[in-house]
């Protein structure tokens, strides 16, 4: 890995993770599915499970082991739409796990969103922290810190009246700022039509630059309290993270999670912002609720059951959170079995695909030349509705695909 792979420091605009072309992995959910397996230390798996949706599963080892999952959503693709958790009850929302929300809405992707109180959610309604609107219905205003008398003051981490991201009915994404003349916090400065909107702790990328908030006195500043200060920022701790951003051209929404379990140590918020800017051309981004709340789920294109994209931590079914953002997308046609890679022992790659898969053969090649493809051999193991096989790797990059082989007569 490059020694400049990623830089610490909240103000360093270069803070990003190095992407090695030799470590790229690719899957296309067409009649042929591809994976490029690189070295055992770092790499990417790129899949296209739905129309307009690209998923990137990415691992890095420097300066610490990290697992990231990134969704790049084409806002102009047919069928793409969104829904934030709607209002419920006497507070703002009823807490659900991200997987419960995905299954309830029959969505294709979902990630956790708002910080919320009380924490932990005990089955009763909760207040989401900051601005919230679901399908044009505004149910939580821009809020101060604490959000109301008797609530925890989180101004050491969450900016008072933090900006919100709005996805309007035409999938145009913009940042909303509170109107200072609004007494109830329900007005914004920008000429935007309200759709699905949500706040995080702060805007961490602003007009293409990393914008981690600082501690001090005044508008747009964090409060030094609870042991946090400019020299020991809440944003500088390594943890699981959820973030959302929009690309510079306004065409893509980028969802990103970082794990802090399963061998992944997590990232600082500044590092997340650096990856979004330098690797995914994000122009504006928010930091959403993290730690044990960080959850990324997907509807399996074959079984139509909800599955985890990331590792949810100490809650096997995921933590109940204040809000989730659902993404709806159309299937890719024609359908074919998708090829997946799973964590494997060093020196191995673990591949799986859904059944039925009659007529489909697992093949490998050192490159993408058509004449180099050959059957992998070996007998895959049937496990429920999937087949899987553990293969040794030579340390060199290798492509894998599922290719349809017509039966011989």
Residue 45 lies in a domain: no
| 229 class by beta-carbon count within 10 Å (0-12 exposed, 13-18 middle, 19+ buried) | middle
Residue 53 lies in a domain: no
Q: Which of 391, 403, 400 is nearest to 47 (CA)?
A: 400
Instruction: Split the chain (409 residues) into runs of 10 and give each run's mean pLDDT.
Output: 36 31 31 41 84 94 94 95 96 96 98 94 88 98 95 96 97 98 97 98 98 95 97 97 98 98 96 97 98 96 94 86 97 74 81 73 75 80 85 77 67
What is the pLDDT, as a whole number, of residue 64? Answer: 95
Residue 160 lies in a domain: yes
Question: Which residue has 């200072």 as its token pair?
Answer: 180
Tokens of 196: 């699905």
Q: Distance (Å, rounded) from C-alpha 246 to C-alpha 219?
A: 25
Contacts of residue 192, defined as CB under 8 A and 6 or more positions apart, other chains included, come to 166, 168, 172, 174, 176
Q: Which of 329, 332, 340 is nearest to 402 (CA)?
A: 340
Q: How many domains does the chain have?
A: 1
Residue 80 and residue 92 in contact, taking contact as beta carbons nearer than 8 Å: no
Q: How far is CA 219 from CA 252, 269, 286, 379, in A?
A: 30, 21, 18, 63
Residue 143 lies in a domain: yes
Contacts of residue 36, defined as CB under 8 A and 6 or more positions apart, other chains included, come to 24, 25, 26, 43, 397, 398, 399, 400
How many Cα neighbours within 13 Å face the side chain of 395? 0
What is the pLDDT, as a whole number, of residue 19? Answer: 29
Residue 339 lies in a domain: no
What is the pLDDT, as a whole number, of residue 134? Answer: 98
| 9 class by beta-carbon count within 10 Å (0-12 exposed, 13-18 middle, 19+ buried) | middle
What is the pLDDT, as a whole number, of residue 208? Answer: 98
Residue 107 lies in a domain: yes
Strand ranges, E, within 274-359:
282-288, 296-299, 306-308, 324-328, 339-342, 348-354
Which residue segment(s) compose the domain that 151 sits in?
72-328
Residue 297 lies in a domain: yes
Residue 374 and residue 326 in contact, taking contact as beta carbons nearer than 8 Å: no
What is the pLDDT, as a whole number, of residue 102? Answer: 98
Q: What is the CA radius of gyration of the chain?
A: 22
Q: How far is CA 348 from CA 33, 40, 144, in A?
A: 19, 8, 51
Residue 142 lies in a domain: yes
Q: Distance (Å, rounded) from C-alpha 166 to C-alpha 253?
A: 11
């Amino acid at each position: 890995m490059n020694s400049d792979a990623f830089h610490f420091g909240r103000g360093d605009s270069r803070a990003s993770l190095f992407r090695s072309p030799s470590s790229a992995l690719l899957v296309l959910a067409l009649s042929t599915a591809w994976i490029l397996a690189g070295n055992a230390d770092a790499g990417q798996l790129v899949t296209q499970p739905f129309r307009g949706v690209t998923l990137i599963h990415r691992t890095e080892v420097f300066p610490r082991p990290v697992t990231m999952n990134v969704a790049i959503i084409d806002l102009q693709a047919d069928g793409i739409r969104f829904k934030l958790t709607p209002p419920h009850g006497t507070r703002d929302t009823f807490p659900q796990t991200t997987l419960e929300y995905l299954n309830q809405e029959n969505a294709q992707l979902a990630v956790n969103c708002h910080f919320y109180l009380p924490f932990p959610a005990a089955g009763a309604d909760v207040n989401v922290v900051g601005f919230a609107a679901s399908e044009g219905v505004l149910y939580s205003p821009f809020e101060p810190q604490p959000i109301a008398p008797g609530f925890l003051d989180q101004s050491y981490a969450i900016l008072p009246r933090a900006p919100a991201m709005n996805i309007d009915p035409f999938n145009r994404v913009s940042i909303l700022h509170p109107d200072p003349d609004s007494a109830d916090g329900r007005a914004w400065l920008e000429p935007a039509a309200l759709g699905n909107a949500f706040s995080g702790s702060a805007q961490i990328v602003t007009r293409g630059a990393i914008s981690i908030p600082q501690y001090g006195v005044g508008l747009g500043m964090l409060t030094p309290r609870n042991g946090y200060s400019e020299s020991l920022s809440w944003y500088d701790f390594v943890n699981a993270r959820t973030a959302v951003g929009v690309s510079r051209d306004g065409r893509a929404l980028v969802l990103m999670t970082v794990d802090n379990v399963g061998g992944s140590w997590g990232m600082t918020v500044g590092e997340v912002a650096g990856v979004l800017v330098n690797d995914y051309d994000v122009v504006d981004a928010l930091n959403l609720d993290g730690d044990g709340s960080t959850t990324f789920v997907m509807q399996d294109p074959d079984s139509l059951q909800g599955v985890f994209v990331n590792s949810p931590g100490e809650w096997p079914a995921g933590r109940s959170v204040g809000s989730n953002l659902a993404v709806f997308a159309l299937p890719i046609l024609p359908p074919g079995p998708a090829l997946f890679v799973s964590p494997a022992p060093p020196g191995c790659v673990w591949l799986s695909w859904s059944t039925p898969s009659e007529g489909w053969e697992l093949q490998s090649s050192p490159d993408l030349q058509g004449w180099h493809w050959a059957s992998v051999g070996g007998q895959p193991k049937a496990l429920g509705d999937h087949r899987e096989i553990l293969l040794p790797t030579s340390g060199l990059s290798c492509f894998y695909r599922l290719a349809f082989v017509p039966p011989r007569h």
